[in-house]
Each structure stands twice: as C-alpha cells, then as structure tokens.
A = this chain, B = another copy of it.
C-alpha cells in the first residue's frame, strides 16, 4: 500500500488479498509522518480501528461500496460515543449516535479514522480560526490551509484518508479543496441529511465531500445522499451514477468586467487555461455579468443571514462569550442586532436575485468559476483576518443562497506552482452532471493528487447518457 488511497486502488488491492488492517496501519503511519497535530482533533485508537475492520465481513464491494475505505469526519459532525467540538471546547458534547450521513458511510464499509479540525463553528474560509493548532497546508506550509473544512482537506491531500466529510455553507468545502489540490464536492442543499451536524447557517448548510478524485468524491456522496425524514431540510433526490459528459454543452463564465483575482495574475492565467480545457471538451463559453451573484454573496456575511449563525451561539455568547474565537465572535455578534424586518427585506432581495440569476443562466448547463480568486498565506490572514476571508468567498458565497450545487476540481499547478482549481456550479439536483464534467476536466488537466505527488490514475471512460443501473422513467400527465 504505497500509492494514494483511492477506492479503485484499495479495492483492487483488497481483491488481490491485501488486508484492511494493513491499510489502517498505513493510514496511521501517514498521519504520523505528517507530523501535524492540527489535522485531527481526535484519532480513533488502533484497537477501535481494528475492531471496526473486524466487523466488516468478507470483501464485498457490491454490497459495501466503501468496504475498507479509510475516511475522516469534520468535527462539527457527530460520531457516536465521540465528542463533537465544532472547534470550541466549551461547546463540546458527547454524541449519542452517528450523524445520519456518517451512519450511511459506515454501513457501506467506510472506516472512520478520526475527526478533523475546522474554523470554529464552520465560520470562516481560512482554516486558522481555531483554538487548536491550525493544520498546515498540505501543499505549501506558508499558505493557509483553507477552511472551514481545513483538517478534512489536509487529511485527504496528504493521503491519510481516501475521503473526508466537510461542510459547506459559504465555501467551506470548496476553498480548502482548492488550497490543497483536491476535489471538493458540494452537494445540492438537502441531498445529504444534516441530522447530527452542528448548524452554521441551518437553512444554507450542507455536508460536503473531499477526495483525491471525482470518482471517489461522487461515490461517497452517493452513499451519503439519502432522504432523512427527521431533517426538515432533507430533500429526496435520486442520485444517478456518473456518466460521461455530453458531447457539447454551454458553460457560463464571469465576463471580463466581473472577473476578480485581486491582482493575482497567476490565478487569472490558471483560470483562463482551464477554460481552454473546457472548450477542448466541447464546452461553449458564455460570458455573463456576475454582479448579481456578488450582490447575493454579500448577504451571507454582511447581511441578515449572519443572524442565522447567531441563533446557534446565542446562549453561549450570553453566558461565556470568551469561549468563542474572537474573530468569529465579532462576526456572529453582529447577528444579534438584526431585525426580522431586515431579514424579510433580505429575503425579498434574494428572491429577486434568484430570478435574475436564473434568467441569466437558463440556457446554460453549468457555470465555471475559479474556486478561489487568490491565495493567502497564514501571515496574510493574521494581518487582516476578516478582509482575506471575505475575498476568499468571492466565487463560493452565493452558491447555497441560490440553491446551486458545485464541485471544485484541481486543474494543475499555476505558473508559481500553487494548485489551480476551478468550480463547476449548476442548479439544484444537477450534481451528477457537473461531476461528470469535473471528472473530464480533472483527467485532461492530469495534476498530481493532493500533496501526494502521485499522478492522477487513469479512470475508465464513461458513456454519455443514463448508466446501467438507471431506469428510464416515463411520466405521462
């Protein structure tokens, strides 16, 4: 087990006789080699891991599509009989049971390695807003790890786990993916249940999946995405298997006037190069004005949706405000003074922006944006914790407010060696379509996997159209 942990590689090895115990030991060895106490807030004991492996039963990837696959869980997601901290020790509680999605993944054979660090309460895109040591960026330790799913992204990028759960309200699953050269799949809101997940902005939260490849991210997503009657925000989407991309498609991109890189010419070049790949795949690029998307984005941290974060912390801010990270506290406390009238005005404006953006994108198959506009170092963020964070959300903050799905995919190194990444976005329930496209872009860019240095393995070509286990439905009404 020397190569990166991907599901196809591990399952091929298991089929050839490798023991999952050996994979677990290798995962622990890689964790040790990473020499970074900031990645995990809790690691399962070797005894617990071996017990989990022992309960797997014989290798059966049909019945258990994640059989023997090591994974990690962001520490705002419950694991039964473990502490959930949301990176706030004062908030910590012992979870009675697995979150709905964790239970589904474990039932499918995935082996939980541990719980990962995050921007406290999943509020932040930087990865350093934690009272614990922040994880180091896996690609370049000078860079911020990206957040809020910082530990999950670093654990995947370093090859410690094959995939990890994050969450994503404002970009928490996509920004750290870009910063660590991995795939970040942000499902349509409600596709994965939030039962057992600490809310950030409850109406806008989703669990997300971080992985080295699109195939692995999508495989874990399909296992985790199932309707949950106990979560009022859960929706019932039929997740189809991945297919190939359509022969031709229309992709919206920000027009020149509304593209924003904050002076980072390498990032602009990287994005333009990625667009050439999209064209190579048959994509017709359509420039659109992103001003309405940016206006939407601003409502998340500068408008009444901040009050949604305040709902979660109201009691703690009243009783022990010093327990909350000072940057996080300063942001969330603004939610206290927002009135219901402010929120209704925000809801009306959002409704209008939904209409405007839906109209602008009606003829498009997807949007393509840079995942991040630029890179910030840990030092940059220390110098301006709020401004850097706000700029990082340029291409991510609006997505959940507009009920879109997204997937961030590496596109190879920029001129300066930092990882390139674009994000495909589409309307609700188009997760499979953008994953199919992201898979092709990834293959064509062929970057190394995360920080492992290993090449992207060649994946099987998939035909366009419904896959074998799909049933065509005829609806006559």
Q: Chain A residues in contact with chain B, CB under 8 A?
A: 202-203, 229, 232-233, 304, 307-308, 310-311, 314, 335-336, 338-345, 347-348, 351-352, 354-355, 359, 472-477
Contacts and interface: CB of A to CB of B under 8 A. Distances in A.
Q: Interface of chain A, helix or strand or loop or mixed?
A: helix
A244 to B, nearest CB: 18
A356 to B, nearest CB: 9
A429 to B, nearest CB: 12
A348 to B, nearest CB: 6
A343 B343 CA distance: 8
Contact of A232 (B307, B310, B336, B352): B352
A315 to B, nearest CB: 11
Contact of A340 (B232, B304, B348): B304
Contact of A307 (B344, B348, B355, B359): B344
Given A203-B347, A475-B477, A477-B475, A311 B232 contact: no
Contacts of A472: 476-477
Given A344-B343, A472-B476, A233 B351 contact: yes
Contact of A475 (B338, B352, B354, B475): B475
A389 B342 CA distance: 28
A296 to B, nearest CB: 13
Contacts of A345: 311
Contacts of A344: 202-203, 307-308, 311, 343
Contacts of A229: 355, 359
Contacts of A474: 474-476
A21 to B, nearest CB: 43
12 contacts: A202-B348, A203-B348, A232-B355, A308-B344, A310-B340, A311-B344, A311-B345, A336-B339, A340-B340, A340-B342, A473-B477, A474-B474
